[in-house]
């Protein structure tokens, strides 16, 4: 896609599935299945199994308004009103969230030395089996989906599904017509990390000035450092990179870096719809 380049004084005053991520649903019950009370509370992130047993035995748990004191009591968690120490909780069979990933955080389930995206979420999401659906580099920001739905995650990362991911990149230099054509036709990436044929991408130069450009591009695959390597083949260095959409699902502008929220029912279909820009 060719766009008119807007020259301004300065536009830059704006400020893996990870290899260890496995969609293990051990302990996650099927929809509508009865679940033990202590297991339910542990999966809500209220505490460890031993901690929630103490909470239950102290009479601090109400289910549908009735105090339950037996940790082994079973309930239909999805269809029950759960209250712990006066605080209401909602149990869901599946959870999917959008996170505005900040820079400096790893897209991984866990890491012994560095903070990961899972560290940005309450313990409940880890207990429910949520994992990143795809990867953003440590210094890349923006939209990241984390889900306990393994089938959804697979569809989002499977290159054969061609789910579009849209990025905004600030690069050094100005994009030429030759650069744009190369992106649109597909670039052969050949560097120290290997060789691959990048599929055709949509690219639009949004603004340029002071030797830099703000570029929006859409790709439907996710090779290692792909966006940075594609720009490098055209002689450009990516200075900042932010993912702003997956399919037609846009990053919620109200989410500050590091903030998250659960997807609404209306947003799920947007993930796999082709964007129209």
Catalytic residues: 137
Measured distance CA(74)–CA(71) in Å, rounded: 8
- Location of structure tokens 């594609």: 230
Alpha carbon distances (Å) from 238 to 177, 181, 212, 232, 277 = 18, 18, 10, 8, 22
Task: Give the tokens for residue 57.
Answer: 């035995």
Q: How far is CA 149 from CA 25, 51, 67, in A?
A: 9, 27, 32
Structure tokens at 277: 């820009």
Report the candidate in 233, 235, 199, 234 with the shortest Cα–Cα distance to residue 218. Answer: 199
Q: Which two tokens stand for residue 165?
A: 């991911």
Buried b (16+ CB within 10 A) or exposed e, 25-60: eeebbeeeeebbbbbbbbbbbbbeeeebbebbeeeb
For 177, residues 6+ apart whose C-beta sits below 8 A from its C-beta are 2
Half-sphere exposure of residue 96: CA atoms within 13 angstroms, side-chain side: 17
244-254 residues labelled b (16+ CB within 10 A) or e (exposed): bbbbbbebeee
């Amino acid at each position: 896609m060719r766009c008119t380049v807007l020259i301004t004084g300065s536009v830059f005053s704006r400020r893996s599935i990870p290899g260890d991520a496995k969609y293990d649903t051990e302990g996650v019950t099927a929809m509508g299945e009865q679940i033990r009370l202590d297991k339910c509370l542990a999966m809500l992130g209220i505490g460890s199994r031993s901690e929630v047993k103490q909470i239950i035995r102290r009479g601090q748990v109400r289910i549908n308004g009735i105090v339950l004191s037996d940790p082994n009591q079973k309930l239909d968690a999805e269809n029950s009103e759960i209250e712990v120490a006066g605080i209401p909780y909602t149990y869901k069979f599946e959870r999917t969230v959008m996170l505005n990933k900040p820079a400096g955080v790893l897209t991984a389930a866990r890491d012994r030395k560095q903070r990961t995206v899972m560290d940005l979420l309450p313990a409940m999401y880890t207990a429910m089996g949520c994992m990143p659906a795809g990867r953003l580099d440590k210094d890349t920001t923006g939209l990241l989906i984390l889900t306990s739905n393994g089938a959804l995650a697979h569809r989002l990362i499977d290159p054969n599904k061609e789910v579009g991911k849209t990025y905004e990149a600030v690069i050094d230099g100005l994009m030429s017509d030759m650069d744009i054509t190369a992106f649109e036709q597909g670039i052969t990436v050949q560097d120290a990390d290997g060789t691959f044929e990048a599929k055709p991408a949509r690219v639009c130069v949004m603004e340029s000035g002071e030797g830099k450009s703000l570029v929006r591009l859409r790709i439907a695959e996710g090779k290692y450092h792909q966006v940075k390597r594609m720009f490098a083949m055209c002689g450009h260095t990516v200075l900042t990179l932010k993912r702003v959409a997956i399919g037609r699902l846009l990053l919620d502008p109200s989410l500050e870096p590091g903030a998250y929220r659960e997807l609404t029912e209306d947003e799920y279909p947007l993930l796999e719809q082709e964007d129209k820009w």
